[in-house]
Structure 1
Amino acid sequence: MTTAELFGDPDQWPDQDLVAISEAFGPHLVLAALREGVFPMPIDDDEVPAELRDAMGWWSPLMRANLPLDRVRVSSSLRKSARHYTTTVDRDFEAVIDRCADPSRPLGWIDDRIARAYLFLHDRGHAHSVETWDSEGRLVGGLYGVSLGGLFSGESMFHDPEHGRDASKTALIRLAVELASTDPRILDVQWLTDHLTSLGAVEQSREDYLEGLDEALAAPPVSWTPPSAPRWEGRQVLAAFDSRPCAATPDQPAGQGPAPGPEPEPGSGAVTEVVR
């Protein structure tokens, strides 16, 4: 199935976030969908007829959230927390997606199909993770997503509430460093939440998002730090963040803004979902 057959013309998409449902699903379709401004997410079984309960939902929100790289907010308290961690890139992608998919957390959406597809994409250099480690060598936070040209489609984040205060936010700081460029970049976070708003995320219409997508996709790809590179100390991450080439606008100094506050506590388990 081609994306044209599945999604059709964006001008004809329904006036809702869900634009298609399909039995077809796989990593190559994920890549094709992201290039069209669409991402996969399973549908709640209670929301569809029985015959569609194993189908995949394809989404393009009417109001799309993104995190402008020159507006990422890092409070003084987050800076203090980040100094206690180290970060890596693509060191343990599978562990990150496993923690994000922890079935004990409420409203979980990452099923085996999603995990397998993104592991495949990681093996082929399309999906990437950032890991946050504490002083005991524990994985206490992280995030993952797909990188296509200047687009990074953020999929999920987690932090360990016992050992990883601000650990997913620290991973986000490192991600901002990895993505830093004077070329067009989109850090897509799909839906806006209060947590993401506190970090600098904003909304734009579906039409505006799609209009800027082609330019981002045509931008040079990100030069990711290799997994074998030494772990970055927190001070190193913050120094690199403060010296990024994507300059802030005059009314918003880079890396500054209202204090985001602590990571939201999960309802249960050790995983907090803050992207979607």
Structure 2
Amino acid sequence: MNLRLFELAEDPASPFPPVELALAEPEGLLAMGGDLSPTRFINAYRSGIFPWFSEGEPILWWSPSRRAVFRTDGVHLSSRLRRRLRNSGWTVRADSAFAEVVTGCAAPRDGQSGGTWITADMQAAYLELHRLGHAHSIEVFDGGGRLVGGLFGLSFGHLFCGDSMYSAESGASSLALAMLARRLRGWGWPLIDAQVPNPHTRRLGVETWPRAAYMEALANLRDLPTEAGSWRERFGEWPASALDDGVRD
């Protein structure tokens, strides 16, 4: 059993320790240090690891024993929410407001105390990954063109790793997730990594898999052929009414 926290080497391309060596307390904590360079970031996600730390803490890297995962055919919206969204006049796009979505996700939630894990350094790292075509945002706009919510994350192979979502208007993040799932399913991508579950994602149908099951799926998906680059044209622009097909209760 691992009883110590690994410290990463300075070389961003250096390997991470095996995820099976993550601590039991704090659950899933594997390593500290390193940097937030694109090379390190992508290496981490391809290894089943993600960064999560607060301002003033060292960079901490995690691989929990239970992984939150959405099947792209398994995002659930209630009939009531689906009807409301379908009549909202909202539209969904990708990669047209990445920085704004990250900023929205970093803002404190109602009733939330303390800081955010999406620190200024993390925001800068995500912006660079987006510039390189590895990080993507899914955005929801109201009828007047105002951004009302969305989500962002990284992609490689045939896997999308979601990092955060937010809603300025109720239901916007759910719409972003549902439309992302629909588009990914159409591309033949079966899963969305959601890292750790929370009450909101549980209501939307997230599953919790043993780490070994997630790592097996990751190994099968991460090297499938895909191209880095903007999703703006590939994703398209979709009205919320398109939820009527393919999203089940």
TM-score normalised by structure 1 residue count: 0.76
Q: Secondary structure at the match of 2:161?
A: strand
Give runs of aligned pairs for residues 223-242 of structure 1, distance below 5 A: 225-226=231-232, 231-235=237-241, 237-239=242-244, 241-242=245-246
- Is 1:39 paired with 2:53? no
- Is 1:139 paired with 2:150? no
1:75 aligned to which of 64, 73, 78: 78
CA–CA separation in structure 2 for the residues paired with 1:228 and 1:201? 25
Give runs of aligned pairs for residues 78-117 of structure 1, distance below 5 A: 78-83=81-86, 84=88, 85-103=90-108, 106=112, 108-117=116-125
Whether contact under 8 Å (1:6, 1:22) holds in the other structure is no
User: In the alignment, what sits opposite 1:171?
Assistant: 176
User: In the alignment, what sits opposite 1:248?
Assistant: none
Superposed displacement of residue 137, structure 1: 1.7
- Give the AA of the match of 1:136: G
CA–CA separation in structure 2 for the residues paired with 1:208 and 1:103? 33
Aligned residues: 232
User: In the alignment, what sits opposite 1:7?
Assistant: 16
Q: 1:229 to 1:127 in 2, by over 3 A?
A: closer
- Is 1:153 paired with 2:157? no
Superposed displacement of residue 43, structure 1: 4.3
Can you give the 5+ residue segments of structure 2 that lack an aligned partner in the other structure? 1-9
Q: 1:228 to 1:198 in 2, by over 3 A?
A: closer
Q: 1:2 to 1:205 in 2, by over 3 A?
A: farther
Whether contact under 8 Å (1:66, 1:186) holds in the other structure is yes
Superposed displacement of residue 75, structure 1: 1.9
Whether contact under 8 Å (1:91, 1:227) holds in the other structure is no
Q: 1:4 to 1:89 in 2, by over 3 A?
A: closer
Q: Secondary structure at the match of 2:93?
A: strand
Percentage identity across aligned positions? 34
User: In the alignment, what sits opposite 2:7?
Assistant: none
Whether contact under 8 Å (1:132, 1:141) holds in the other structure is yes
Q: Secondary structure at the match of 2:193?
A: strand
- Give the AA of the match of 1:12: L
CA–CA separation in structure 1 for the residues paired with 2:42 and 2:189? 19
CA–CA separation in structure 1 for the residues paired with 2:138 and 2:65? 28
Can you give the 5+ residue segments of structure 1 that lack an aligned partner in the other structure? 46-52, 243-254, 258-276
Q: Secondary structure at the match of 1:82?
A: helix
Q: Secondary structure at the match of 1:196?
A: helix
Q: 1:97 to 1:74 in 2, by over 3 A?
A: same
CA–CA separation in structure 2 for the residues paired with 1:124 and 1:182? 21
- Is 1:123 paired with 2:131? yes
- Give the AA of the match of 1:31: I
Kindly provide the CA deviation profile for residues 80-123 of structure 1, in whole angstroms up to 9, marking residues without a partner as x. 22221111111100100011111566252110111011111111
- Give the AA of the match of 2:156: L
User: In the alignment, what sits opposite 1:48?
Assistant: none
Superposed displacement of residue 28, structure 1: 1.8
Whether contact under 8 Å (1:65, 1:201) holds in the other structure is yes
Whether contact under 8 Å (2:102, 2:152) holds in the other structure is yes
Q: 1:181 to 1:217 in 2, by over 3 A?
A: farther
Whether contact under 8 Å (2:21, 2:30) holds in the other structure is no
Superposed displacement of residue 206, structure 1: 1.2
TM-score normalised by structure 2 residue count: 0.84
